[in-house]
Copies of this chain bind each other. A is one copy, B any other.
Amino acid sequence: MAHGAGGKASRRLVDGLLAPLLYRQSDPVEGDRLADAARVLVGGASVAITTDSFVVTPLAFPGGSIGELAVNGTVNDLAVGGARPVALVTTLVLEAGLPTETLVAELRAMRRAAGVAGVAIVGGDTKVVEHGKVDRLYISTTGLGHPLPGVTLGARSVRPGDRILLSGPIGDHGITILLARGELDLEADLRSDTRSVFPLVEALAAAAGPGLRWMRDPTRGGVATSLNELALDSSLGIHLSEEAIPVRDEVRGACELLGLDPLHIANEGQFLAVVAAEAAERGLEAIRRVPGGEAAVVIGEVREEPQAAVLAGSRYGGTRIVDMLVGDPLPRIC
């Protein structure tokens, strides 16, 4: 299960097995091959493409459902890949006997989310398998995007002194799913943060221009895993100010009770950005002016040292190493 959790084992699976077996040097792609969205040349035009599958359980939860996640997750991978989301295609694997109401509710959720995000759903495929051969409904979505002009992203563009921006409070999605499963005797007034982050990304890109270096949406594995990947890929040190990272009381409380680190909890409506120091304030203000971006903050900066590591400093002066997610505290989060 850990191989699917988005943390260390996932990275080993992707870097060590999937990418070497599937990729070739000669492929007609541009940029970072392990980014959230790939760039492909189709008849001379650069197209961003990303794909994701969704196996979340339960199918519906406070603030969203698998259909919304399937749209917003793919829209967000395009957004943090520096592209305007244009179109989606989707495949549905249905368990024989799935109630029609469940299917209709999820199709409606997909269309509603696509409408809000301004993308068209242009095609799909459906398979039905026997009862017990899939857990009700799995969805895959693939998104096509149009690269934003003047935006070049990549861990190799990140420089010491760059600032790390976060769009809002973390952990809402993961803890919402955990509580929605009802296996714990815990309740909290919490909703998934699932949404399109493209409006925030677009504002940031316009304000920061070439000062925008890198973006990622911290889903499986959370902020800690995304920033560890950045640290590894850039060979730089990421210094976080723990107290600057917004975490709702409900999320913090649940994490303390369960021995989880909010930095490892999945988000579905936030993004991280690395922005050159001189563009950071401008970028932050631009995000904050967009509805839903009011809580954006600078949470840290990039330094030369320690190479390939993430550190978090507390208000009391202590510093801890923030590791990638190890194992899988919370399977099937998206």
Determine how close the nearest CB of chain B comes to the CB of A109; give it in whole angstroms: 10
Flag if B93 contacts A53 (CB, 8 Å): yes
Q: Mark A118-136, 1 if CB is under 8 A from B, else 0.
A: 0011111111111011110
Contacts of A29 in B (CB 8 A): 87, 120, 122
| Interface set, chain A 212-246, CB cutoff 8 A to B | none
Contact A22–B110 (Cβ < 8 Å): yes
Give the shortest distance, in Å, between A87 (CB) and chain B (any CB).
4
Question: A142 an interface residue at 8 Å Cβ cutoff?
Answer: yes
* 8 Å CB interface, A23-78 against B: 23-24, 26-29, 33, 37-38, 40-47, 49-55
Nearest-CB distance from A144 to chain B (Å)?
6
Complex alpha-carbon distance, A86 and B43, angstroms: 9
A87: chain B residues within 8 A (beta carbon): 27-29, 38, 40, 42, 49
Judge whether A262 is part of the interface by a CB distance below 8 angstroms: no
Please give the residue numbers on chain A whose beta carbons come within 8 Å of chain B beta carbons, in ascending order. Answer: 1, 3-5, 10, 13-14, 17-18, 21-24, 26-29, 33, 37-38, 40-47, 49-55, 86-87, 89-94, 96, 100, 103-104, 107-108, 110-111, 114-115, 120-130, 132-135, 138, 140, 142, 144-147, 331-332
A29-B120, A50-B89 given; name 13 further pairs at CB < 8 Å.
Answer: A3-B94, A4-B129, A22-B124, A24-B120, A27-B87, A28-B120, A29-B122, A40-B87, A43-B45, A49-B122, A55-B129, A130-B331, A140-B140
